[in-house]
Chain A
């Protein structure tokens, strides 16, 4: 199937107090239509910045290199005006905290219909009708009443549903969801994940799901990439990556999770040290100072992302090639 979005060699540099900092360093991936594509990694790994770069939402002074082909166009080369038509219309975004994404003093109906009128050229009444339908789509009880309500009148989970409805208003083909369930309770999280999966199935929506939670990833992502220090360290079908991780970092990340099935007596296997600060990545393989399998060349040579056994990973040592 032709990819909906192909990102090639994306790099992002942000200005820092002591010169430019490389936040994203040569990231390559592609998103198939109608699937959930997962981006996993700890804070500071560049997962959010790499997504913001696609929509031209980076802070001032940032430099972007590489290509992001969407529908035959390179998103990174579009003018501000062209990008404005893509943003919200073709590609929409949902953020971690729905309260900051919604305007506190504007009614839900007005927030939902404003950009529909701009992008779709709908009349006031038509936009309002569609806003009500959208709230129904994301399972808000009493959609008509909700149009006149304000964000503070809803719970966190309902606010995130409203933010998703707003993102879906112009029928985008791609939704970028950055930690959409991190601020929510597990019971509410389960509802949002089911909603995203349902929208994918009913409307053929593609989703780039950014999360540090590998459990969330496992439940809806078809393909996942694991970011570490601005680079992709592992990339493949989520069933394979999560069951048989090939990169030592992916493996360590999974081992650090409390497993619900195991009896809770053994200590968790934590990764020694902490992830490097954004822009201050170690030489060679960035993971080498924390890696139990590092050899001398890891400290100097940047490992390339190679494809082996239907998986891409960046580890020449490959200590888990025989692991079942």
Chain B
């Protein structure tokens, strides 16, 4: 059974005197225990909003978010419901997500207390957590400024782990780090998911890192999930033209001197999405139907889903370019 389930979630930002912005317009995804799910898309596509809604930091307008059988509801003035303690989040910037005036140890202890596990002053579980994320025991008595960006992100992960979570939602956890630190944290995340049977929802704009670490991937465009499936399959044979364009835009450090392909046009204003398929103004394969009818995310084959008129439910698994040529 999925440990975290998002079903047709809609998140809308209200703006005074202007039309509301539907940042997430019906997104469905699931995270299984021990599974790393990547969520990719350009900035402004709503992936961070969806992440915040998934842990209850943003209210969902409609749809259901269910964690371990409990409905995730937005934070109120009162404490977070006990059932949701095992749903944790790690933010992009470890420089702002840690309190600069408290020691690492006391910040990790917050997580232990929240989970009802530890008492303040008990250093044993803190030392264990630090070891788990690859930091020395002595780190507990030090302050965030004494650590590098990669080490701080380890601390943030240790704090999330302190609550004994079954799911951690990570919003761009690697993008503020250098290449060598990125690799270290990516490896740490994979190891944690495997050894603790931890579900991870990894939000990132870096396709290469998602390709490497995630078991499954969902691709988001303008508030909607346009494709999802096992990572290696999606990478090998993308079904949606947007996924195809994203993959073609990634530069390769192979010394070949090949320029990556650019996707023409701009991401439209989410407050006024294009009619029909939201991607059709930028899509090289767009035809009449795409301009008027909205495609929904349907199962193509096995775990593969796509929202594109080029593909029918149960149709062949081929790239959009091949499919467009065949039609």
Where the two chains meet, the residues of A that have a C-beta atom closer than 8 Å to any C-beta of B are 42-43, 155-158, 185-191, 193-194, 197, 212-220, 222, 238-243, 252-254, 256-260, 262-264, 267-271, 274-275
Contacts and interface: CB of A to CB of B under 8 A. Distances in A.
Interface residues of B, number: 47
B267 A253 contact: no
A274 B147 CA distance: 10
B211 A42 contact: no
Given A197-B259, A258-B208, A263-B232, A186 B250 contact: yes
A219 B255 CA distance: 7
B209 A190 contact: no
A193 B178 contact: no
Contacts of B267: 155
Nearest to A155: B266
B253 A187 contact: no
A239 B254 CA distance: 8
A256 B208 contact: no
B257 A239 contact: yes
Given A186-B249, A215-B252, A258-B186, A264 B257 contact: no
B252 A274 contact: no
Given A218-B255, A241-B255, 16 more contacts: A187-B245, A187-B262, A188-B262, A189-B249, A214-B253, A215-B208, A218-B256, A239-B256, A243-B255, A256-B179, A257-B179, A257-B208, A258-B183, A258-B208, A260-B252, A270-B184
B321 interface: no
Contacts of A158: 266
Given A187-B262, A243-B254, A253 B43 contact: no
B260 A217 contact: no
Interface of B: 42-43, 148, 150-151, 178-184, 186-187, 190-191, 205, 207-209, 211-214, 231-232, 235, 245-247, 249-263, 266-267
Given A219-B260, A240-B255, A268-B186, A275 B232 contact: no
A259 B207 CA distance: 11
A193 B257 CA distance: 12
Given A197-B259, A256-B179, A268-B212, A215 B187 contact: no
25 contacts: A155-B266, A186-B207, A188-B262, A190-B260, A190-B261, A213-B251, A214-B179, A215-B250, A215-B251, A215-B252, A218-B257, A219-B257, A219-B258, A238-B257, A239-B255, A239-B256, A243-B255, A252-B180, A254-B253, A256-B179, A257-B253, A259-B208, A260-B247, A260-B252, A270-B180
Contacts of B150: 274
